[in-house]
Structure 1
Amino acid sequence: MATPAQKQASAARRAKNRARGESRDYPRVRARPFYRGARYKITRRCIGRLMLFASGRDAKQVVNFIGYCLAHAAARYGIQIHSSLWMSNHHHTDLTDPEANLVPFKQLLHSLIARGRNRQLGRDDTVWSGQGPCDTQRPTDDESLMDMVYTLTNPVKDGLVRWSRVWPGFTTIGWRYGETRTFKRPAFFDEDGDMPEEVSLTLVRPGIFSQLDDDELYDKLMDAVRERELEIQRSMRRHSRRFMGLPKLAKQHWSRAAKSFEERFKIKPKHAASSEGQLLRELARNREWEREYAAARELLLAGKPAVFPAGTYWMRRFVGVEVAAQAP
């Protein structure tokens, strides 16, 4: 239960958010740009923080199911997967979107996962939180690397296992860049449908640290993962905490919910950076895009010729508006 101080902090954040929105010099824009070749971290949580992806005693079945859905959706929309780890009640996936297909990719992935997991568990309720997914972009190579470190060490950070490599759920830790793994169609998918019997997922290196080859970048990532694991272990010892461990994880039931406190009413970020200057520059670019989008929308509603800014997705796909070419 939230304390009075936490409730007051939430109220103050909401008031600040409203004031920020009212200060804009253009009509509110709910759209966001999707550029070809952009890198993202996508995150989505289960409804009510339920442990719907707890692997329990069927870890291999759960891993194959998630790997199959991820590989199928990535192949359908040309998404390049750099790292992915599925916790018991949420997932983190780092990727590059070469053809600006992030929206249909997420729709297909999360739909397949929700329907398939419900079939596995014998339930018929919502799987994903109504708050929707959170996608962030990082502007620098170092921050993109640390995004992948965060993804792969999530079970360690949450005090579940001592080493990321032993996580029983789906994870790409240990995959080398260019490595391909194959997943078979789960039995509950219709064998007479359009789902392939098996699909393959190749781990693609992100476009960072171009001076390093694939093996050198992999080693750099694994060194950073190891450093982060040791840092978390030292923190756990200082606070006299213990890791849950695999035996207890195997007994975790999907109907349980996380009990740790989680702040509410926070703005979901579109960009993230360790440098305030970099973050402000990214936000300024985003505001300029919104301003151009709002102006084009005004022209369209007035029945005048309108060219929407590069990165416009929904209006291009469903209305057929003219969109400016993306700069190389």
Structure 2
Amino acid sequence: HYHLLGTDIEGCLPDFVRDLNALPPRALNALRGLSGTNFEKGYGLVRVLSGEKALEHAAYTLANPVAAGLVARAREWPGLSSVGMKYGKPVRVERPAVGLWSGKAGHAARRASQRSKRAAYACRTRLPEHAELVIERPPVLPKLTDAQVRAKVMRRLKARERAIAAERRRRGRTVLGARKASRVHYLSVPMREEMFVRNPTFSGVVHEARRAMAAAVTAFRRAYRAASRRFREGVRDVVFPAGTWLYRVRYQACCETAAPP
């Protein structure tokens, strides 16, 4: 699984996660000669209630390989991570030349394909040859610059790395290391997995904010169930609560307008 901290400005998170969970597995399956999904169905969504928690989640996400005992510092992790990126600074990403695209490129290079003009259709794809990836700062601390907010996240990351290292020393454990971690077979699974654990839907520091959000979630679910029941009974002008996605996108159902943050 992966950890991602983001802001859903246009209300398209389900579509975004669908594409994110679909294209990389297809590319990896083509590269490895496998089939099936790489990510479990569904995803855990936690709403962050405060700027303090947003910074905490940002550091937590970057420190995930460290907490897993794979590397001692987040920057040592060779996998996909934004630890070396800066807010607002684009990074150019090239379309892979392997997996889904390797066979097509080879087919296009064949002389027979070029003579028959099939080569022009061999590499058809809607994906651009390159794209720019930009990470944006969390919508917190408006008086600080992007660099200052990023520095706060990095300080929290280093503090978390030190805390994890201290706990590791206390238990007499060592990290696996990036080289050994990269050699772990991609089909291997953990020997033990936590089951029936709490699945939070929001995260906050202030107790009053958590209580208010818990009440809001309860009210949303109650209103959603009532509207869904009426919609299935044939009442097509029923109004769903703000935040409804499936009925709005699939059936063009009416929804309340969300209040400004």
Q: Residue 319 of structure 1: CA displacement?
A: 1.1
The share of aligned pairs that are identical, in percent, is 30
In 1, are the aligned partners of 2:87 and 2:147 still within 8 Å (CA)?
yes
1:110 alignment partner in structure 2: 21
Task: Give the direction of change, closer, same or farther, for the CA distance of 1:220–1:246 in structure 2 (3 Å limit).
Answer: same
**Alignment partner of 2:190 out of 251, 254, 258:** 258
Alpha carbon RMSD of aligned pairs, Å?
Answer: 1.7
Structure 1 residues 255 and 303 mapped into 2: Cα distance closer, same or farther (>3 Å)? Answer: closer
For residues 248 and 178 of structure 2, the distance between their equivalents in structure 1, rounded to whole angstroms, comes to 48
| 1:133 aligned onto 2:32 | no
Structure 2 counterparts to residues 219-298 of structure 1, below 5 A: 219-259=151-191, 261-298=192-229
The more displaced of 181-190 and 94-103 is: 181-190
Structure 1 residues 298 and 197: CA distance shift in structure 2, 3 A: same
Counterparts of 2:61 and 2:259, CA distance in 1: 30
Matched with 2:116 is: none
Query: Could you tell me which amino acid in structure 2 is paired with residue 112 of structure 1?
Result: L
Q: Deviations over 1:117-157 (max 9, x none)?
A: 11112111332224x21111110111111111110001111
CA distance in 2, matches of 1:159, 1:223: 20
Alignment of 1:32-47 (within 5 A): none
Using CA pairs below 8 Å that are at least 6 residues apart, which structure has the higher relative contact order? 1
The count of corresponding residues between Structure 1 and Structure 2 is: 237
Question: Which residue of structure 1 aligns with residue 239 of structure 2?
Answer: 307
Partner deviation per Cα, 1:8-51 (whole Å, 9 max, x = no partner) = xxxxxxxxxxxxxxxxxxxxxxxxxxxxxxxxxxxxxxxxxxxx
Contact 2:63 2:160 (8 Å CA) reproduced: yes
> How far has the Cα of 1:237 moved from its partner?
1.0
Query: Are the structure 2 counterparts of residues 327 and 276 from structure 1 closer, same or farther at C-alpha, using a change threshold of 3 Å?
Result: closer
Q: Distance in 2 between matches of 1:300 and 1:192?
A: 42
Gaps of 5+ in 1: 1-89
* TM score, norm. by length of structure 1: 0.68
Inter-partner Cα distance in structure 2 for 1:158 and 1:296:
43
How does the TM-score come out when normalised to structure 2? 0.85
Q: Distance in 1 between matches of 2:178 and 2:225?
A: 52
How far residue 250 of structure 1 moved from its aligned partner, in angstroms, is: 3.2
Letter in 1 for 2:29: N
Structure-2 residue corresponding to 1:119: 30
Deviations 1:47-73 (A, max 9, x none): xxxxxxxxxxxxxxxxxxxxxxxxxxx
Consecutive unaligned residues of structure 2, counting only runs of 5 or more, are: 105-122
Q: List aligned pairs for 1:68-107, cutoff 5 A.
A: 90-107=1-18
Of 64, 76, 80, the match for 1:170: 80
Larger C-alpha radius of gyration, 1 or 2? 2
Between Structure 1 and Structure 2, which shows a larger proportion of strand residues?
Answer: 1
How far apart are the structure 1 equivalents of 2:233 and 2:187?
A: 52
Contact 2:48/2:203 (8 A) holds in 1? yes
